[in-house]
Amino acid sequence: MTVEHDIEAMDQFPVGMRVLAVDDDQTCLRILETLLHRCQYHVTTTDKAQTALELLRENKNKFDLVISDVDMPDMDGFKLLERVGLEMDSPVIMLSAHSDPKYVMKGVKHGACDYMLKPVRIEELKNIWQHVVRKSKFKKMKSIVTNGESEGNSDQNGVRANRKRKDQSEEEDEDEEEEEEQERGNEKKPRVIWTRELHNKFLAAVDHVGVKNAVPKKILELMNVDNLTRENVGSHLQKFRLALKKINNEANMAAANSHFTQMSSLKGLGSFHHYRPTPLGSSQFHGGAATMRHYPSNRTFAGMFPHFKSSLPRNHNDGGYMLQGKPFPSLETLHITNNNNNKAFPSFTSPQSSPLVASSNHLVLEGHQQSSFPSFSPHLEINKRLEDWSNAVYSNNIPQSNVHSKPDALEWNMDTTKTTSFCRDTDFGSSNAAQADFLDPFQMKQQHENILDPMTVAELSRSSSADEGLFMGQQKLENNFMASDAGSLDDIVNSMMTQV
C-alpha cells in the first residue's frame, strides 16, 4: 500500500478495504465475493492458495485482509495462514464448514484473527475490518517503539517506548537503546556546560563501559548528546575519576554505621552485585518503577538509582520516572526485577531502606567492594532522606544477594540518553539524581575508583535496588545526599558540574 493509498483508504475506511478471498469452492467464493462487495470492500478472489500467496508476495501491502477457506486441495488453509502471517503479517480470517472446536483452535494457533463458519453471513463480514485496524495499530505501536529509538526521536518516545516494552525482554530494550545511543551518538559540537542532566548521562555511560574502561570516545557515543566533544568528555572524565577516588576514601571512613551492618552482611552487597549498566529507559524499571527512570535530574546520584522516588524533580519527562510522586517500587520488586532483568528499581520502601540504600550507595561509592560498605555514613544521611521512599523492599533486598546486579538504574541511565535525570550510571542508585547531585555519591564512588568499578556499582545499585531507590531519593534530597560525608562529594560534584 502506498502511503497515498493508505491515506485515501483510511479516509473512508472500512469502505474500500482490500480483501483477498481464497476458496476452492466456486460457489462459496462467488457468494463471498458478493457479500464482500455488499460491504463495500474491494475484493480479489482466487480459488488457489498458491495464487493467493503469489498475489500477496507481489506486493505486501496490496491487501488489508485475507479470508481463506481451510480445506483446499493445493494447500492447507492453515499453511497459507502461517505463510501470510510470516511473510506479510496481514490479518487472516479463516473460513470453514467445520465447526469442530479443534479446527478453530488450530486456526487461532496458526495466527488467524478470526474463524468463521460457513455459510458466512453478511453481518459477520461487516465487522471484519476491525482486525485490520487492530493489527495496524499494533504495528504502529511497534514501529513507534523501534523508530523512536532508532531515529533518536524525542527522548520521550524512546523512553516511553522503553517503558512500554519493559515487559518485553530487557535485552531487546537494552540492545535497542544501545543501538540508539550509538546511532545517535556521534554528533559533536562543543558544549562545555556539565549540567546535572548531562552529568547523569555521563555517569550512565561510564557505568556502561566500566570506570576502568571509560574512554572519552565511548562515553561520548553512549551519551549521545549533541554538542559535546570528546575533549569535553575527556576532561570531565578526568575530574570524575579524581572525584571518585576522593569519594571512596571518604566512604571508607564513614563506614561504621549500624545501618550498615546490615549492609555489610551483604557482603559486597551481594545484592548489589553487578550493577549492570543497562541503558536507561529500558524497561528495567519495572516493579513499578518504570517510571522511576527519569529522575529529576538534579541531584544525587543521578544515575545511581534509577528509581528515585518521585520526590526528585524530574527533569526528564520521558516517562516516567516514578520519582516524582510515585512510590518507589518496593525493594522486593526491584530486587526481583533486578534479578530478572534490570528492571526498574525496586521500590524503595521507606526509611528502612534508606540505610540500606545508603549502604548501597555506599557500596556504590565504594565501588565495589562488594563486601562491605565501609562508609555509609553519607549514605545514611541520604537514606534518611530517602525515607519517603517506601523501601521495604530495599531492606529486604539488601540481604539478598541476588539482586541482580545489573542495576536497572544503569540501564535506566544508559538508555535514556535523554533522561538526564538519571545518573544512573553509577550504582549510586540515585540514578537520576541530577548529575550534580549524583556526582556526589558517585564521586565518592569514583574516588574509590577501584572499588567502584562501574560494574560493581551497578551491581551494588542493582542489588540494592533499594539503593537505587535511595539514590533516587537522594536526588530528592536536593544536595543533601550523603549529607555528612557527602559534603565532600558535593564539593566534588559541584566542582565537576556546572551548577545549573
Partner 1 sequence: MNTVVAQLQRQFQDYLVSLYQQGFLDNQFTELRKLQDEGTPDFVAEVVSLFFDDCSKLINSMSRSLERPENVDFKQVDSGVHQLKGSSSSVGARRVKNVCISFKECCDVQNREGCLRCLQQVDYEYKMLKTKLQDLFNLEQQIVQAGGAIPQVNIN
Q: Kindly state whether residue 79 participates in binding partner 1, applying the rule CB under 8 A.
A: no
Q: Which is nearer to partner 1, 28 or 244 (CB)?
A: 28
- Name the CA radius of gyration of the chain, rounded: 27
Q: Kindly state whether residue 118 participates in binding partner 1, applying the rule CB under 8 A.
A: yes
Candidates 19, 56, 113, 120; binder of partner 1 (CB under 8 A) is 120
Give me the least distance between CB of 92 and partner 1, in Å please: 18
Cis peptide before 407 (omega within 30 of 0): no
Q: Which of 363, 377, 392 is nearest to 451 (CA)?
A: 363
What does the angle CA 462 – CA 262 – CA 334 come to, to the nearest 5 degrees? 25
3-class secondary-structure state, position 430: coil
Give me the least distance between CB of 54 and partner 1, in Å please: 23
Candidates 28, 53, 357, 460; binder of partner 1 (CB under 8 A) is 28
Q: Using an 8 Å Cβ cutoff, are 41 and 19 in contact?
A: yes
**Rounded distance between C-alpha atoms, residue 121 and residue 116, angstroms:** 9
Q: Kindly state whether residue 119 participates in binding partner 1, applying the rule CB under 8 A.
A: yes
Q: Using an 8 Å Cβ cutoff, are 395 and 333 in contact?
A: no
Stretch 129-188 residues interacting with partner 1 (CB under 8 A): none
Give me the least distance between CB of 114 and partner 1, in Å please: 17
Q: Using an 8 Å Cβ cutoff, are 450 and 349 in contact?
A: no
**Rounded distance between C-alpha atoms, residue 341 and residue 5, angstroms:** 42
Q: Kindly state whether residue 55 participates in binding partner 1, applying the rule CB under 8 A.
A: no
Q: Kindly state whether residue 26 participates in binding partner 1, applying the rule CB under 8 A.
A: yes
Q: Kindly state whether residue 15 participates in binding partner 1, applying the rule CB under 8 A.
A: no
Contact window for partner 1 (CB under 8 A) among 80-88, 120-128, 359-367, 397-405: 120-128
CB atoms within 10 A of CB 343: 37
Q: Which is nearer to partner 1, 52 or 159 (CB)?
A: 52
Give me the least distance between CB of 14 and partner 1, in Å please: 18
Candidates 1, 10, 13, 31; binder of partner 1 (CB under 8 A) is 31
Q: Kindly state whether residue 25 participates in binding partner 1, applying the rule CB under 8 A.
A: yes
Q: Kindly state whether residue 30 participates in binding partner 1, applying the rule CB under 8 A.
A: yes
What are phi and psi for residue 96, nearest 5 degrees?
Answer: -160, 160
Q: Kindly state whether residue 212 participates in binding partner 1, applying the rule CB under 8 A.
A: no
Q: Kindly state whether residue 38 participates in binding partner 1, applying the rule CB under 8 A.
A: yes
**Rounded distance between C-alpha atoms, residue 155 and residue 368, angstroms:** 31
Give me the least distance between CB of 72 and partner 1, in Å please: 10
| Residues β-bridged to residue 67 | 21, 93
Q: What is the DSSP letter of 406?
A: S
Number of residues that bind partner 1 (CB under 8 A): 21
Structural element, H or E, at residue 221: helix 216-223
Give me the least distance between CB of 29 and partner 1, in Å please: 9
Q: Which is nearer to partner 1, 120 or 436 (CB)?
A: 120
Stretch 85-104 residues interacting with partner 1 (CB under 8 A): 96-98
What are phi and psi for residue 428, nearest 5 degrees?
Answer: -45, -20
**Rounded distance between C-alpha atoms, residue 177 and residue 179, angstroms:** 5
Q: Kindly state whether residue 289 participates in binding partner 1, applying the rule CB under 8 A.
A: no
Residues that bind partner 1 (CB under 8 A): 24-28, 30-31, 34-35, 38, 69, 71, 73, 96-98, 118-122
